[in-house]
Amino acid sequence: MKVNGRPYRTVWMDDESTGEFKIIDQRWLPFRFEVETIRTTEEAAAAIKDMHVRGAGCIGAVAAHAMYIAAFESEKSAGKIFEEELRQKADFLASTRPTAVNLQWAISRQLDEILSQDSISDGAKKARSVAQQIADEDAEWCNRIGQHGKPIIEDLAKKNPGRPINILTHCNAGWLAFVDHGSATAPIYAAHDAGIPVHVWVDETRPRNQGARLTAWELNQHGVPHTVIVDNTGGHLMQNGMVDLVITGTDRTTYTGDVANKIGTYLKALAAKDNEVPFYVALPSSTFDWQIRDGVKEIPIEKRDGDEVSMMSGLSDRSGDRETEVAIVSPGSEVANYAFDVTPSRLVTGLITERGVCDANETSILNLFPEHKK
């Protein structure tokens, strides 16, 4: 995607440099665009945990690059120590965020590839090419999600000529949450680029405001008409016929179709069901959990620092780019910060994947991904 006209991915390696990679540091958007260089496993872990990067696909791709750094760092040790050290680093990286399954997926894929090499230096070389491969795959899968999701918007446009199709989205499942294109936004970008009129309702997404800060910024960069709303607005809009379609992303979806996504997604799905608004979830196959059957009972839900709820940051001077933090909760009150919730499959109209659209149930998902049939 382009930032001020220049193409970017969220994570990349420069051809000439070894033992480092670059990320877009999302903490400062939309007010400042900054690129960060990651040189150690510790820096990579901090970037994931403290949300310099976030979003399932992006976290997975960054973890893949972090494993390359880990292998590069461990290259100096010999034999068994290399494997031990690498496994420790893999565990350390995997512990940074519990809900997005892409993290573990990318780390175990890298571990298998590195440890199957004959020599340590081959392992480090392999890790570099696998990191690149995971990033390229993520971008291509999201591109295909766009192509498979576009007809859903196209059909709605045919049924409602002469007005834009109103799509509600929650959190940021845009290109910043992946390597490129995004999941929930990919069909929107594809429809917009094809000349189909769209308008996006952007949930601000408390407490980190990924919608107000990131999705809105992305849509601005791409010229897609949109309106930011507070999180509790969706139900009212749906009751008044102002939402044609909901598309969200997901951080982990079970092979039975239960969807973990940013906190508040479940309430949107309930309102959509009550108002007969189609509720789609867009995801690459790297976000399926092929082990877990019951998402509500089994998906680990991250609880983050209460300061994310009780403090808020933003510009005190609209013309500047330095943010100020302010307290917004009565001092002394307890706060709880559940980062994700689970939407049961019965509330999901369909899943938009890189292989096509399927129903949110075991049979339909496994028909699209037969290699995961047990």
Interacting residue ranges for ligand MRU, rule: CB under 6 A: 54-57, 171-173, 177, 183, 210, 248-251, 261-262, 339
Q: In the complex, what is the shortest distance from the CB of residue 362 to ligand MRU, in angstroms, rounded to a whole number? A: 22
Question: Is 251 annotated in the active site?
Answer: yes
**Marked catalytic residue, from 138, 180, 244, 251:** 251
Indicate the residue among 82 and 279 with the shorter CB distance to ligand MRU.
Answer: 279
Q: Which is nearer to ligand MRU, 157 or 292 (CB)?
A: 292
Distance, CA of 219 to CA of 23 (rounded, Å)? 20
Cα separation, 353 vs 167, in Å, equals 18
User: Per the structure block, which two tokens stand in for 80?
Assistant: 């068994």
| Partners of 37 in the β-ladder | 22
Q: Edge-to-edge, what's the strand order for the sheet holding 226-229? A: 226-229, 198-203, 165-169, 245-248, 279-282, 350-353, 356-358
Phi, psi of 148 (to 5 degrees): -75, -30
| Smallest gap from residue 169 Cβ to ligand MRU (A) | 8
**For residue 13, which amino acid is it?**
M
CB nearer to ligand MRU: pick between 152 and 202 = 202
**Which C-beta is closer to ligand MRU: that of 123 or that of 149?**
149
- CB nearer to ligand MRU: pick between 57 and 234: 57
State which residue has the least CB distance to ligand MRU: 249
- First-to-last alpha carbon distance for the chain, in angstroms, is 38
Catalytic residue positions?
Answer: 251
